[in-house]
Structure formats: C-alpha cells, structure tokens
Structure 1
Amino acid sequence: MKKFSFLILLCVFFIISYPTKGEAAAVQSKIILDSKEISMPANVKVHVVNENVMIPIRIVVENLKFKVDWDQKSQGVKIQQDAKIISLKVNQQEATVDGKQVVLTAAPQVKNETVLVPIRFVSEQMGISVSWDNLDKTVYLTSSTKDSIDVGQADTVVETLLPITEVPEVDTEPMGTNGSGQTTNAVNHINRLSFVNNQLIISSDGAVIPKISRLTNPDRIVVDLPNTTFADSFGSLQPLDAGLKGILDISGYPNISEVRYSLFTRDPYQVRVVIALTQANAFQLITGVDSNMLVIDLNVTEDSTATVPPIIESGRKVVVIDPGHGGSDPGTTSITNKYEKNFNLSLALKVQELLLKEPNIEVVMTRDSDIYPTRTERVQLANQLNADVFVSIHGNSVLAAPQVNGTETYYYQRSSSKDLANIIHKYLIKAIGLTDRGVKNGSLQVIRETTMPAVLLEVGFLSNRSDEQIMSSDTVQYKAAQAIVDGIKEYMGVK
C-alpha cells in the first residue's frame, strides 16, 4: 500500500493541464496496473521520446484525493503526502525527491493536455515495478514487488559446478562501489545482447562485473549481471515479453541449443542470461573498455591456458561488415521513397554470402536484420574481435541536388585504411561503373574509432534516379559485393 501511495503521488502530476509542447512519437498502447487494464481516453497514449518510453498515468488516479501545488509561472508541480515530497517541472530533466536532486532519462513533456514522464522514473524513484513490452506496446505497472522472474526450469544456481576455465581479473572497480569502497545504488542497463562467432556479447551503459557459473543436467552457462536491468529501448532491438524474458535467435551453432534471458530479480535488479548447451563447453570472459561490453567466448577448450584465447582459429582473417543504419534509424530516403538501411543490409548480406565461402576468412556482421546497433557498439564489436578489416556500407544522398551521382570511399588518417580504401574503391568503380568521386579522408565515428584498417563505402546516390535504379538491381549488388570481397582479399593477401 505504501508503494501504491507513492504511485498516487506521482500520478497527480498528470491530471494538470498545460499548453502542448515538445515532440513525441505516439504509439497505440495499453497500460496494465496490477494485472488490470486501465481504460484510456482516445487522445491519451504512451509516447516514445528519443528511445525513452513516456507514460501518461494520470488516468490511474482519477477520483483519488491528494495534496498538490501547481505553479503556473514556473510550470512546476509540488506533490506531498505525509513526509514525501516530489517536485517536477515540464521540460526539465532534474526533479527533486525528498530534497535530493535526481535526473530523469528524459524531461517531462506535454501532449494532448497530459504530462508524460519516463517509466524509469516511476521504477527508480517511486519503487514501482515497471516494464515495457515493445511487441504488444504495453506498459505494465506493479505496485507490489515480485520476488523474482525465472528464466526457465532448473536455472537456479544450486547444483554442483563443473570445473570452470579461469576467468581473468577485471581491471575495474566492482559494481556497487564508487572507487573508494563505498557502496552505491547505481543501476546499469543492458542495451543489447547478440551471439556471433560462438560468442555471447553483452553491451551495457555502465561497468558490470558478471557472476558466471557452468552447470550440468542440462549443460548450460549461467551469466548473472548484478544491479542491472534492461534499457527502455532493449525491446525495440530484440524480443522482450511482458515478463521481461526473451530468447535470442540462434542458428548455425551446433554446440548451442538456446540463449535465453530475463530480469531474474527486481530487488535488487539482476539480469540473467542462460546459454543452453548441447554438451559441456568451456568458456572465457573477455571485457571491453570500462567493462561496458562483456564477451563470453566459447571458442576455448578445457585445457586452454591462454589468458584470452584466440577468437578465430589460427590463420583465419577476421572481417567485420557493417550495414549502416537499421531499425529505428532508416538513414536517408531515396528518390523513390526507399530507406537506405534496406539497401545497406541487402548489399552487406551478399558480401557476407560471398565471404562465407572463403576458407581463410571469418566474417562477422554488426547486424544481419533490421535492428539498430549504435555506432559505438559497432566500433566496440570490431575492436573487441581485434578484426583485420572493417567495412561499413552506405548509400549517399543530396536531396537538394538530385543530379549529383557516383561512388566515393572514405577512410580516416591511417595509411592502412587509405590503402584498403584505394583497393576496394578500384574494384567497386570497375564493377558497377558509376561516376568515380574518389577516395576521401573523413572523420566518421565507425572508421575513426576502430583500430584496424577501416573504410566507409558510399556506393552511390540514392537521391539520384539513375544511381538508385542501378543500386536496387540484385545483379548489380552481387557485382558490388564481389568487388568488395575482391578488394578485401587483395588487401589482406588472401587467395
């Protein structure tokens, strides 16, 4: 009841009318409070603002009594019940809870005379369990904390552990400290999970020290992530149901039967990821910069003695192919209203198809479907894999000048990147025959922050009718893909 009264205090903020300000993408949605659907007026919707789920929950507390002061001049609300005081302002990310400043993930906004706040504020400041099902577009509010959410049968870590491969020490402060040994309540958020090259890759917004166990009957690896929950945008990238559970789409890995994940406990927050195995398998933990990226590498054997074993079998070159944009980021729009992200992926998949036939090359995709890894995540993936080559594929556009056309290739400063750019560009121009706009130095994040030879290909101008028609042809895309592969092979000296 106490937690529910806190929710009531917050909800009063939403029954006050304001002039409409700000921009938010409305979604057809439902709000479920304690397993009961709330009837929502036609003009009241959940909104998504810069990947933050914003909820208008004033409808929860209609006809309830509470004390509230509204300051029209400052656009501020002061809510009080007993000793609990909450102060919020429209369009300001800072709020005050019991005299202490807190920062919201997004500033409160107004839409259709209703104030919106991010669901994470409700969860972290009001003690209300909140989840967002991106598939069903549903917000779930629970006024009583559940003990835990299981990821599957027999996943509680109570069984006898097999001998485990040594996990290297992580050169960061353990989660839950501030560097001086004092405990903190910081909560990290998982942005993305992926499984590539027989490795589970976990990307978060803060340093996480995992607890990893290898279990039998059935064989599996359990990865617990303390003080961690899912980011608001996680469900837009990969499956996450109403119970905050999901399963990665895994294929082509005979030693893996399933990778599943969930918010295992809420108090404290803990995400659990389970790698279900077809037979016992050793692993090794690899950490990225500041532990914001964790890699559970299954490319090791029981008798492996290396601190960090090689990710790719000896002699194979690692090529990372990056289809630009994707998911919520469509890139540019072509002259016939097609999204760049679709062209980028179509061509990149053809490059992957050809590279998979190369016995001396291991190809890794930053995405192989319509999802949006951030540019930072693309860079981290390539650097973590210690790739030999990175190639980002794009379509160009100048909407104001549809006559502009041709192919151009970008590199950033490093002579190795320039050499790679010159070779691939040469093959690409010969293969598809568009105007040669040359090789150029450009400060673009995915080629600037990667540590290996890296190029960004602007294959042609989607804003030019002739270029777009050529680029849309499957035949031409295969020619372009073969040119990219030929350029990569020549640069790396692979036959």
Structure 2
Amino acid sequence: MKKFGFLMFLVVIMIAFPKMADASSYSAKIYLDGQQINLSSGVKVENNNGTVMVPIRVISENLGYNVNWNKASQTVTVQDGSQKVTMVIGSQYADINGQRVQMAKAPVLRGGTTLVPIRFISEQMGLEVRWDNAQKAVYLTSSNGGSNPGEQPGGNTSTVDGLSFSENRLMVAVTGNAKPNVSKLSNPDRIVIDMENTNFSDTFSSNASFNDATKSGQLTVSGYPDVKMVRYSLYNSNPMTVRIVIDLNSAKNYTVSGPENGSGLFIVDLNTTTNPTPDPGTGGKKLVVIDAGHGDHDPGAIGVTKKKEKDFNLAVALKVEKLLAKEKNIQVVMTRSNDTFLELKDRAKIANDLKADVFISIHANSGPSTASGTETYYYNESDKALANALHKEIVQAMGLKDRGVKYGNFHVIRETKMPGALLEVGFLSNKTDESKLFDPATQDRVAAAIVRGIKNYLKVD
C-alpha cells in the first residue's frame, strides 16, 4: 500500500497546479503516514500540459519497484510482485500485465533522464491523500498508517473538492468525514447546506469562480427556472464550516443522497414535488447517463491544432442530451453539462445512485499521427451488446476506419453497475480526424448516431 501512495501524490500535484506552464518542473514535500520521504537531490516532478511526469528513478529509489531500462528498444519496465508495466519512449500505449492501455502522455527522455506519465495507473491506488497548499506538501495515509503532521488523531479532515449544477441537481464532491446538514429556509427561499469541520480543498480553489482571499464564490445557473444561483463560502472558522446556498425563485422540495462513508458525491436533487425521500424515480422511463469525459483543469488529449478533448466530449454530450430530451420513453442525466471536473469514481457513482439503465462515456482518442478511426470499449460481457449497438451507428456517422469493439479496463465502465460503454470517436492526434471531430455538422451526426444506438439497445420507440 505505501508504495502506491507516491503515485497518488503525483495525481494530487497535477490537480493542485492545473495552470502551470508546459513542461514546468517543481518539487514538493511528501509525507507517508506522518514520515517525510526524502527525494534525491535535484529530483523534480514535471507538469507537461497538465500531465505529471516523474523521473523513473524516483519510483525505484523511494518505492522499491524493480525498474529496467532497455536502451536499444527504449523500453522501461516497472515491476512489483505480479504487477508489471511496460512503456516505450514516444508511445502513448503501455502494457499492463498483457493489457494494452493508453496513457495521457508518452514517456520522454529529458537530458538523459527518463520521465514517465503516471496518472493512468492512479485509479488502482488506495491511499488517503491530502494536499497542503500553504506548506507545499502532500500527506499520504495508508489504511494502517498514522496521522498527518499538524492533525489531531481521529480528527476530521473533510474537504469540498468541487461542485456543479446539472439536471436540476446540485452535485458536491467531498473527501473525508463530511456530514452535510441540509435545511430549507424562506424569505427569501433557499436551501442551505452546512458542513462542519470542513474546508475547501486546493483543487476547489483552482476554480475561476472562487475568491481565494474571501474563501467564497458563486455558480451561475441558467436554464433551470427553480434556481437563481448557487453560493458557497467558508462560513465559519471555529469550527471550520463550509456553507453552500441554493438561491431559489420559489419554495422547492428536494431529495438528498450520499456521500457514502463521508466521501464521494453528495447530491441535492430538486426533481421532486414531495418532501425529501429516497430516489425520485424515472416514471417508467429508461434512464440514460451521459458522461462527457475530462473537464476543467483536465483537458484530456490535445489535438494536432491544440484543440482539447474535453471540449469535444462536452459538445457532443450536450447534443446527445438535447436529442434524448425529446424522447418520450427516455430520461437523460448528465455527469457534467459545463466545463467542470468530476473524479472518475463520482461519474460512476451518479449512475449507480440513480440506478440508471445505461451509462455512456464520450471521449476522443490520441496516438501516433497515422492512427485514425473509431473504437468502442466495454468491460463486462453484458456490456458488449450496448457497445456494438453504439459502435455500428457511430462508425457510419464518422466515416472513419472501423477499429472495432474492444475490451477496456476503464474505471467508469468497470465500476458502473449497469451496461456501459466508452466511446473513442476519433483521433485528435490525426489531422483529418481532428477536423471531423470539431466540425459541428459531424458532431450533430455523431450525437444522432449515439441516440439511435441507445434506442436500438433499449428497444424503445
């Protein structure tokens, strides 16, 4: 477990410094179960367009992995027990125990030092991580570890990591022992959420609508007649209390769900006409969750002309939402409907909590400049029929090479409890593909194709 903590640290660093310049480097203190990890002199972590790159020797020196460098083939192999990861300089694809997996960035050679991107394996890690921006330090706690410096044993370390408003639902990502207290007030009408012993995380303070000096901000809401806006602030410092207020245009009831065990996604759902009750239901309609991959400080793949995957994903997802909203037998929920960020676990949690019938995650691919085409991924055999139904329609709409329907060990389709598919519509790293991906008319055809695939799979009119 302790070895995995450093990898989680790198993910935290990437999130905590989302606006750093391309290929900038920095150092930070690392504490594992209260003990500082000593890095070799001169060791730096590099942020390459939002992807964290780490010298391979850091992994071997501090975490005890076996690392092998083959100069002739420019291949790096990292092994720990039965876990074996093989990477090649310049290739965005790694081999994990025989499974081909795409990374955000290819490994690079920098002044004789091999740097590798590690975010793609962070999903498998299990340490609790807290970033202290003031101290420029990361605190890692294993399941049997101790307290972080400066914390009381058993103390509450809850943080609000992000929030968004979509489908008439407020969704708040929290970490720690969060215990939201929700109440409804009048004159004026509003819903108030207070979380004691909670602060805003450093990832939250990177939000453009957050004032770091006053510890407050607001989220403009449009298209939802029930809500004027959402406000949030560090309401009290003793005890530390985060307050979130949903300003309403008129009195409105709500339902509340989450977070499980104090961490995860906390949802205030305004889609109800009764007093707070569990799941509001879908009125007999099939419930489809559409996930636009990446968002905010996580751009995803970067295209030939520097276009961002997150923008393509959202554009198509919104078009799909608009089309599905017209379907009388389908209800659609978005994991995000604007440029916000959700953890992978929270994307899956939305679908699981709502007991959705289908989950679809929209992405664009990246690879060598010659790579082109459309591919669709499934995780369970029970997901394959959905993937096939979607893939057939999308290939026809895009008119690119058919790269097939494939098994993929992706978190969002692995952790969802309903049939799910992850779409890689085209390659941003290919000039022709990128041009098509960002053509509005092509996006319209892809959105319509996704809807046809959903309807064919669900067998609805």
SS at match of 1:372: coil
1:259 aligned partner: 230
The answer as to 2:397 corresponding to 1:394 is: no
Distance (Å, rounded) in 2 between the aligned partners of 1:226 and 1:386: 30
Given residue 444 of structure 1, which amino acid in structure 2 is its aligned partner? F
Distance (Å, rounded) in 1 between the aligned partners of 2:138 and 2:360: 40
The answer as to 2:458 corresponding to 1:492 is: yes
> Which residues in structure 2 correspond to 1:28-427 (within 5 Å)?
49-52=13-16, 92-94=29-31, 101=34, 118-121=132-135, 184-237=154-207, 239-241=209-211, 242-292=213-263, 293-302=265-274, 307-312=277-282, 314-399=283-368, 402-415=369-382, 417-427=383-393
SS at match of 1:51: helix
* Cα 1:271–1:493 shift into 2, 3 Å: same
SS at match of 1:50: helix
**Offset, 1:487:** 0.5
Distance (Å, rounded) in 2 between the aligned partners of 1:199 and 1:376: 18
Aligned length: 342
Given residue 283 of structure 1, which amino acid in structure 2 is its aligned partner? Y
Distance (Å, rounded) in 1 between the aligned partners of 2:459 and 2:230: 36
Given residue 393 of structure 2, which amino acid in structure 1 is its aligned partner? Y
Distance (Å, rounded) in 1 between the aligned partners of 2:251 and 2:40: 48
**Offset, 1:49:** 4.1
**Offset, 1:318:** 2.1
Given residue 439 of structure 1, which amino acid in structure 2 is its aligned partner? V
What CA RMSD, in Å, does the superposition of the two structures yield over aligned residues?
Answer: 3.3
Q: Deviations over 1:187-223 (max 9, x none)?
A: 2110111222322222111231122222222222211
Given residue 247 of structure 2, which amino acid in structure 1 is its aligned partner? A
Contact persistence 1:93–1:107 (CA under 8 A): no
Contact persistence 1:299–1:311 (CA under 8 A): no
Q: Deviations over 1:370-426 (max 9, x none)?
A: 332222221222222222211111111212xx22221110010141x1111010111
* Cα 1:429–1:246 shift into 2, 3 Å: same
Given residue 243 of structure 2, which amino acid in structure 1 is its aligned partner? R
Distance (Å, rounded) in 2 between the aligned partners of 1:331 and 1:462: 10
Contact persistence 1:297–1:311 (CA under 8 A): no
Q: Which has the larger radius of gyration?
A: 1
**Structure 1 gap ranges (5+):** 1-47, 55-89, 112-116, 126-181
**Offset, 1:457:** 0.7
**Structure 2 gap ranges (5+):** 1-11, 19-26, 45-130, 140-151
**Offset, 1:319:** 1.7
SS at match of 2:191: strand
* Cα 1:124–1:218 shift into 2, 3 Å: farther
Distance (Å, rounded) in 2 between the aligned partners of 1:444 and 1:124: 26
Contact persistence 2:303–2:309 (CA under 8 A): yes
1:17 aligned partner: none
Distance (Å, rounded) in 1 between the aligned partners of 2:373 and 2:137: 51
Contact persistence 2:29–2:138 (CA under 8 A): no
Given residue 233 of structure 1, which amino acid in structure 2 is its aligned partner? T
* Cα 1:303–1:378 shift into 2, 3 Å: closer
SS at match of 2:209: coil
Q: Is the deviation greater in 220-229 or in 194-203?
A: 194-203
Contact persistence 2:164–2:336 (CA under 8 A): no
Q: Deviations over 1:418-464 (max 9, x none)?
A: 11101011111222221111111110111111111110111112222
SS at match of 2:202: coil
Distance (Å, rounded) in 1 between the aligned partners of 2:238 and 2:187: 28
Q: Which runs of 4+ in 1 moved over 6 A?
A: 106-111, 122-125
Identity across the alignment (%):
44
2:106 aligned partner: none
Distance (Å, rounded) in 2 between the aligned partners of 1:92 and 1:124: 6
SS at match of 2:348: helix
* Cα 1:460–1:92 shift into 2, 3 Å: same
Distance (Å, rounded) in 2 between the aligned partners of 1:210 and 1:108: 44
Distance (Å, rounded) in 2 between the aligned partners of 1:107 and 1:184: 32
Distance (Å, rounded) in 1 between the aligned partners of 2:269 and 2:153: 30
Distance (Å, rounded) in 2 between the aligned partners of 1:413 and 1:476: 30
Distance (Å, rounded) in 1 between the aligned partners of 2:364 and 2:137: 41
TM superposition score normalised by structure 1:
0.62
Distance (Å, rounded) in 2 between the aligned partners of 1:280 and 1:311: 21
